[in-house]
Amino acid sequence: PSFYSALQPGRLFTKGNYSSPYYHHVEITGLEPNTTYYYQCVVRETLEDFDKLQEILSADMSQRDSEVVADIVNEEMQEDTTNENKSINTRQRRRLQRRKQRQFGLGHRFLAPPPYDSSQCGCPDPHKVRTFNTAPSTGQGPNKFAIIGDIGQFPHSEETIDHLRINHDDIDAIMLAGDLAYTGTDQRRWDTFMDFLDDYPLVENIPIQITPGNHDIDKHEHGRDIFQAFEKRFRMPQAHHARLGRFVGEDGSLNMDKPPFPLPYDFGNAYYSFKYGLAHWICLSSYSAIDEESKQYKWFKRELERVDRSVTPWLLVMFHTPLYNSFSVHQTDMQIIMGRIYIEPLLVEYKANLVFNGHIHAYLRTTNVVNSNVNATGPMHIVMGAGGRAAAAPFLNEDPEEWVVMRDASIYGYGLLELLNETHARWDWVHTGEELDHNVLFHHENVSLPVGGVDHVIVENQYFMSA
């Protein structure tokens, strides 16, 4: 069909002194592959401006069909208003109205604390007709993905997205490898992070897939809830509904450099999979249990067994903490140690092609590697945690390990992966900063940094190599 009508009431989310009744997740089924769809988010107060969408539809629909669609939406909106009035008592409505008046003034969106200030961009047009393209049929390519780690909402974050928008607007999807908003447990900063994304037209037209990072845990100093915003603000292709427990350790703030492990978070947005063209993507949670008896491990193994390389020849895996790390930070993280024990053997056994991580605020690309030994049939590991938050991580040793192809901790950037066909892909590490943006790491570190340059390589699908 050419038109879909979807009504979704907001879900109230309260955490500490923060409350938001404005979350909406709408699932639309039956879409055709590789097709452009138009949509408009119609607010009851602006329903009279529905003419714009009718103009778009008129190219494919008769005038009468278009009028019928508008009538249906009007009726559904009125019915929804009636039902809402019945379900919310007068005191609740007044409280919501007062909150709305506090959050919105003079027609501008409510601005949370720094780092991101969207006041220069103004509010998005509420009447705007937006578009998105559906994924190609499974097995069809080429496909192009942008992959960003530790993006945040800082000046370099804006440079990253703006550079991507200007130079590579032909991408099919954006993959965010954890540490999304850097809220510091201030939930209003999730609002500004979403404002940040909304201010770039590229982002509204293509899908964004996420994986949890340590700064997405969001445990308040005297609270027990974890990953609340990460789970409620996004909707990934879930294997099951989220099973999200509460933190049971000592009260107080968490050390975000070494958060407790594991945390009670399974399914939902924690780990999931999807197919896109030539790729079978698997996204894992670095902060959920991963031992052989865990839900995540059992799900991951079943998912690997389901991969059909004759249909999706590229097996791509993304999670936050890297298994291979040539930098001095995060060398003893329990998530990394457990990942080397339980995750890496499965990656090797099922011949995953590429593994993408963040966490280290730097760039690293390994050769194909198995258990720290160069091996042409093993996965290639890529760390790109310099998407916006920082680009500063001292090397562990001045001489790189045998499995290191390139490492850099001086310039911000993002990755581009283009799956050309069943056997070959192209990887590019794209720098967004200039030489003046290089960071001085630590004065006591006698380690020279490589000159910043674009890293690119043609990747051969090792699945089709003989062992």
Active-site residues, by number, are 330
Q: Which tokens is 173 given?
A: 């999807």
Q: Which tokens is 411 given?
A: 């310039």
Q: Which tokens is 138 given?
A: 């499974």
Euclidean distance between CA atoms 433 and 161, whole angstroms: 12
In our burial notation (b when 16+ CB lie closer than 10 A, e otherwise), range 234-254 reads bebeebeebebeebeeeeeeb
Helix and strand totals (H; E) in the chain: 10, 20
The answer to whether residues 379 and 389 touch, using CB atoms and an 8 Å cutoff, is no
- CB neighbour class for 62 (10 Å; exposed up to 12, middle 13-18, buried from 19): exposed
DSSP labels, 34-76: T-EEEE----GGGGGGTHHHHHHHTTTS-HHHHHHHHHHHHHH
Euclidean distance between CA atoms 37 and 31, whole angstroms: 9
Euclidean distance between CA atoms 229 and 185, whole angstroms: 10
Question: Residue for token digits 């009744």?
Answer: 21
Beta 173-176 vs 143-148: how paired, if at all? parallel
Euclidean distance between CA atoms 170 and 148, whole angstroms: 16
Q: In this structure, what DSSP letter does residue 199 have?
A: T
